[in-house]
Structure 1
């Protein structure tokens, strides 16, 4: 593997750390912000004290990192159509991250009559969830067959199950108004940890490279 490919794949390891640091640092400038109750999107919402720089610290840099990782993923597993599809899904996730930053949600992020910006923000968030969940599902299939890693396959499957379970909890929390921030962080945390796991597995040589051409 050449240095460029290693560098591109290594961006996947950086994504969870960047997300954690970006959200934490931004929240420091938001008086009274509650990580357990409030959505991460509220950091960049209309009228929030961190509206202008929250997307510049989190959403936009993360979009770039996801795009770079998608490029590395496509190069690393170029012999597999399904792996390239997963790379496209990761790229779509990056576009979703860009969209959630470019289109801020309304104040509070849960208006009775959402603005166009709020609607586009919500669609971008849905794209983010669906893209990485589908990519994880693909690697639950590809992990053993392509990378020769049963661990990666089971890890990917577990992340799919947990992502779906936590998004259900997010919906319930949105209705009850209690602990939405916690469940959102668990949901997205699972997704970016999966990205880091895939990056780590992709940086290693496949256990059975002969299977690559057959997939």
Structure 2
């Protein structure tokens, strides 16, 4: 595998650590911020103490890492149409991350009459959820077929189920006003850990297997 391919795929390994460090660092500058109750988007919300620089620490760098990882996937698995589709979905996720930073949510992130920026923020967030959940579903099918790992295929399927369940819990928490931050972190945490697992699996598959794989 070429050095460029390894570097691009390694960007996927960085994503969970960057997310964890970025959110933790930004929250330190937000007095009274509650990780269990408040959405991560509130760090960049209009009027928040970290409004101006939260996207610079979180959304934009993560968007770049997802884009680089998508490029790496496309290069690594260029013999599989479904894998190329998954790379496109990862790129869409990066675009969604860019959108959630570029269009901040309103103060509190749950206004009765959302602004245009809030609506675009919500659409970007929906794009992020759908794109990465679909990518996991694709690899639940591909994991054993081209990566040669039944365990990774099963792990991908479990992550799809967890993403859907935690998204439902987020919706309930948004209505109840309790534990939204916790469920959001569980939801996105599962997804970015899965991304790192895909990066690791892609780095470890022997080049010979990549050359032998059928068009899928």
TM-score by structure 2 length? 0.98
Q: Report what 2:3 is aligned to.
A: 3
Q: Tell me, yes or no, if the aligned pair for 2:81 and 2:215 is still in contact at 8 Å.
A: no
Q: Report what 1:165 is aligned to.
A: 165
Q: Report what 1:213 is aligned to.
A: 214
1:18 and 2:18 correspond: yes
Q: Report what 1:63 is aligned to.
A: 63
Shift of 1:208: 4.5
Listed one character per residue, the Cα deviations across residues 61-96 of structure 1 (whole Å, up to 9, x for unaligned) are 000000000000000000000000000000000000
Q: Report what 1:196 is aligned to.
A: 196
Q: Report what 2:90 is aligned to.
A: 90
Listed one character per residue, the Cα deviations across residues 16-69 of structure 1 (whole Å, up to 9, x for unaligned) are 000000000000000000000000000000000000000000000000000000
Shift of 1:205: 1.9
Equivalent residue of 1:213, what SS? coil
Q: Tell me, yes or no, if the aligned pair for 1:92 and 1:131 is still in contact at 8 Å.
A: yes
Provide the rounded CA distance (Å) in 2 between the counterparts of 1:40 and 1:72: 27
Structure 2 unaligned residues grouped into runs of 5+: none
Provide the rounded CA distance (Å) in 2 between the counterparts of 1:105 and 1:211: 47
Provide the rounded CA distance (Å) in 2 between the counterparts of 1:37 and 1:78: 42
State how 1:34-183 maps to structure 2 within 5 Å: 34-183=34-183
Q: Tell me, yes or no, if the aligned pair for 2:77 and 2:210 is still in contact at 8 Å.
A: no
Listed one character per residue, the Cα deviations across residues 114-147 of structure 1 (whole Å, up to 9, x for unaligned) are 0000000000000000000000000000000010
TM-score by structure 1 length? 0.98
Over the aligned positions, Cα root-mean-square deviation in angstroms equals 1.0
Shift of 1:151: 1.0
Provide the rounded CA distance (Å) in 2 between the counterparts of 1:214 and 1:116: 43
Equivalent residue of 2:185, what SS? helix
Q: Tell me, yes or no, if the aligned pair for 1:106 and 1:115 is still in contact at 8 Å.
A: yes
Number of equivalent positions: 215
1:33 and 2:33 correspond: yes
